[in-house]
Amino acid sequence: MASFTEKVGYGLGDMSSSMFWKIFMAYLPFFYSNIYGLSLEATALLVIVARIWDAVSDPMMGILADRTQTRWGKYRPYLLWISAPFAIAGVLLFTIPSGDETTKLIWAYATYLLMMTVYTAINVPYGSMLAVMTDDSDEKTTFSSYRMLFAYAGSFVVLFAWEPLCRYFNGLQGLAPEVLSAQSWQYGMIVVSAMCFVLFVFTFAMTRERLRPISTGSIAGDLRSLLCNGPWWLLLGGIMSFNFLNAIRYTVIPFFFTSVVAADARISLFSFEMLFYAGLFFSVGEVANMVGVAVAAPIARGLGKKGTFLFGLIGLALSSAVFYFVPLDAYLLMLLLQVVFCVITGIMSPLVWSMYADVSDYAELELHTASTGLIFSSSSMAQKFGNSLGAGSVMMMLVFVGYSTTPGAVQTPDAIDGLRAIISFAPAVVAALSFVFIAFYPLGKQRMHDINLRLAASRRR
């Protein structure tokens, strides 16, 4: 059984990834449209084009990692090799070059594609490590729970602190806090990037690979095996939809708060009054996510991973749809629904990685292929595709409802109502789509018990 220290070390890796990823999900579309100066249409096209490249780079990285052999293992070395490029690419992403509109557009594409490539190069091996750190399915869920607990902790820190951090650097430039400069965003990202670099180095130092599956098949053979893997297809569709609905909410929240929630909005909790802003909404959600992660493993042991995921999707659809009917000044009720939504996503999130590990075990037993990295690359691909679909869709929906990106613009009633629909009904519809995929996913609790027994026997031969 793995030590507590190793589980913490594994969790630190996703703390690093999530600090970047949550900023990308929550603030990057807003940064491009409201700070960088791209149109909503150009922003939508940018994130979609970047994900088309991801569709190629993720499997490529998985294939490469599967064939890597070092004294540190297959996947773990990449945490050390890529941690510095990962941090540097994040800073470049939030750097605005001098020049005309064409120059800025080229820079946006170049830095976004670079960031996604580097993210793939470190995150695919990191995720793949789960399959080779232990051969016990329940312990994989425990590792996943630590991973998601630390991921949400990192998300809480970065989302709660991001706006105050940018305002701090803005103040050093003598600028009004309500108008954040581009440079303040860059300085904020330098701080976050340095933290992410250190966290990945700690993950490398504190973890070990114990299983050494050897990929003896050809690349073409591994790809054919993947394409014939029915559970993988169903899980891919379900998880991509799950990431899609989360990306919709994260992307629209800064727009929602900027245009719907009053700038001086405040809430009172136990006689303590605080400003109600997007960062608070996000960070309270991350704490709720951590609560969900803490109870994920025992719930999954009772209901099974598939059953837990299906019940979770029902809860997400209902809690999202109800949000539309909340009065615009009922801030505490908005926050309560955010807590409910995020507790549920916290329960579901660790299952994603554990279910991919189950698909990897299924492939090793039934399809006779040790293509762990390739399978786990699909989890990264699903995350990025879901995020791009969410961000791109929100940008196009904002165009459809007549949202104005002009600084200080007063939104029309149709635009306000459109924002409320995007944050509520859109995620609910996508949750229903994810439910359909997962309902047909065949690797339930009893099936995985049988697979683990047979696989353990075959590995002892």
Give the model confidence (pLDDT) of 173-210 as tens digits.
Answer: 655 445 567 889 999 999 999 999 999 999 999 999 98
Position 289 pLDDT exceeds 70: yes
Would you tell me how many other CB atoms lie within 10 Å of the CB of residue 95? 15
Which one-letter amino acid corresponds to residue 40? L
Half-sphere exposure of 234 (CA within 13 A, CB side): 16
Percent of the chain with pLDDT over 70: 94
Mean pLDDT value of segment 62-89 = 92
Burial class (CB in 10 A: 0-12, 13-18, 19+), 430: buried
Report which DSSP code applies to 38: -
Lowest mean pLDDT among 161-165, 226-230, 269-273, 410-414: 269-273
**pLDDT (tens digit per residue) in 257-268:** 988 888 788 888
- CA dist 377 and 135 (Å) reads 19
* CA dihedral of 375, 381, 386, 391, whole degrees rounded to 10: 170
d(CA 306, CA 210): 27
374 contacts 229 by C-beta, under 8 angstroms: no
Q: How far apart are CA 198 and CA 84, in angstroms?
A: 9
Greatest Cα-to-Cα distance within the chain, rounded to the nearest angstrom? 70
pLDDT band at 55 (very low <50, low <70, confident <90, very high): low
Rounded to an integer, the average pLDDT of 279-302 is 89
160-170 mean pLDDT:
87
pLDDT value of position 177:
44
Do the beta carbons of residue 376 and residue 147 sit within 8 Å? no
Q: What is the pLDDT of residues 383-431, one digit of tens each?
A: 677 777 787 889 899 999 999 887 777 889 999 999 999 999 999 999 9
Quick: pLDDT tens for 353-383. 788 888 888 888 887 776 677 777 766 677 6
Q: Which two tokens stand for residue 430?
A: 């996508």
Q: Which residues does residue 274 pair with via DSSP β-bridges, in sequence order?
A: 267
Are 344 and 148 within 8 A, CB to CB?
no
Nearest by Cα to 167 from 149, 188, 150, 151: 188
CA 82 to chain centre: 19
The mean of the pLDDT values for the chain is 87
Structure confidence at residue 344 (pLDDT): 96
8-22, 63-77, 384-398: the lowest-pLDDT one: 384-398
Mean pLDDT of the 267-281 span? 82
DSSP lists the bridge partners of residue 273 as 268
Q: How far apart are CA 267 and CA 284, in angstroms?
A: 13
Q: Which of 162, 161, 154 is nearest to 198 (CA)?
A: 154
Arithmetic mean of pLDDT, 257-286: 84
The residue with greater pLDDT, 57 or 425, is 425
- Superfamily of structural domain 4-460: MFS general substrate transporter like domains (1.20.1250.20)
Return the pLDDT at 53: 79
Ranges of each domain in the chain: 4-460
Helices within 367-442 (DSSP H only)? 372-401, 413-439
119/223: higher pLDDT? 119
Amino acid in the structure at residue 136 = D
At residue 331, the pLDDT reads 92
What proportion of the chain, given as a percentage, has pLDDT over 90? 41
CA distances from 278 to 164, 257, 320, 331 (A): 11, 6, 17, 12
Give the predicted TM-score (pTM) of the model: 0.74
What per-residue string of b and e applies to 35-56 under the rule 16 or more CB within 10 Å gives b?
A: bbebebebbbbbbbebbebbee
Comparison of pLDDT for 67 and 212, the residue scoring more:
67
Distance CA 323, CA 346 (A): 19
